[in-house]
Homo-oligomer: A and B are copies of this chain.
């Protein structure tokens, strides 16, 4: 870490600052320049609060050289993390395909979709039981019943299940859930992250709508600091000025996160754009860019559906996507 001091800082002030830094367990190395004095901080700077430091009157700016995340940092864990989930694994040679409905609506719906996505090549089943909705008047999910239906589908198909948690008080309901999802809006719900850090559950941590990759890794670090290293990162689109697509899928995040961290990363092309037609091309792109897997919304099409189709892709389209993904994987 480097702190650039403002012009006109006195020797006494510099001494006060370096003395304090030493009490924080880091060594300092000072370069007196004509215009600026620069203090290099040497040692374990992950516990130094860069924001506090840069807020000091005499400090012009602070630059981290080593990243503030440690457990999630590839530098200290060069090998890819591979997480066993049921009979499949994430982050290794297997390619993860998590599929299922946006919301769990009924046992029949989940069961039918589970069977069809398994047949097409899905390795896990997803479905929302607790739904984070912008409006209090929108459907909030089937809650405990929804999880129950997912567990029945898991028993029937053997697919591990992924579903979102919104409240640490609900953890008891997630005992038989294989992967607990933390949604984009809760990525910096640090209280929830801490609670999940105390479990041994695999956590699928979605990037927040306006969160940097560094913040995503710091949120992973919250969970890991508690002792739980089973984390799957998920990029699902970030908020930009573009309006044709709901969000902007940041596929550069995949190779960038691979460089920075050893954690596996999956891509959710369904939420990123909100447009069913874009799911296939973006799934192929995510595969080609080096993601460890995909998370895709699939909806069946029962006779009572409102209209002849919905945003989520159908099991047939999903099977087509899986085929194409396999082909791309075969040449990488």
Residues on A close to B: CB < 8 A?
2, 4, 13, 16-17, 20, 29, 31, 33-36, 38, 40, 42, 46-47, 49, 51, 54-61, 63, 65-66, 68-69, 132-139, 166-169, 185-186, 188-191, 194, 208-210, 212-215, 218, 221-222, 225, 238-245, 248-252, 254-256, 259-260, 272-278, 281-282, 284-290, 306-312, 324, 327-328, 330-332
| B40 A31 Cβ-Cβ under 8 A | yes
Cβ of A306 and Cβ of B31 under 8 Å apart?
no
Q: What are 20 of the A-B contact pairs (CB < 8 Å)?
A: A2-B63, A46-B135, A47-B137, A49-B139, A51-B274, A55-B276, A55-B310, A56-B306, A57-B307, A57-B309, A58-B307, A58-B309, A133-B190, A167-B191, A240-B241, A242-B250, A248-B250, A252-B272, A252-B278, A255-B282
Contact of A242 among B20, B34, B238, B277 (CB under 8 A): B238
Chain B residues near A69: list those with CB within 8 A.
Answer: 135
**Copies of this chain, whole number:** 4
Distance (whole angstroms) from the CB of A188 to the closest CB of chain B = 4
With both chains docked as a complex, state the minimum distance between the C-beta of A303 and any C-beta of chain B, in angstroms.
11
Query: Within 8 Å CB of A57, what residues of B?
Result: 276, 307-311
Q: Chain B residues with Cβ under 8 A from A241's Cβ?
A: 210, 212, 238-241
Q: How many angstroms between the C-alpha atoms of A36 and B75 in the bound complex?
A: 14
Residue pair B244, A213 in contact (C-beta under 8 Å): yes
Contact: A311 with B55, CB < 8 Å?
Answer: yes
Is the pair B17, A221 in contact by a Cβ cutoff of 8 Å? no
Closest chain B CB from A171 CB (angstroms): 12
Min CB distance A73 to B, Å, is 13
How distant is the Cα of A209 from the Cα of B289 in the complex, in angstroms?
A: 22
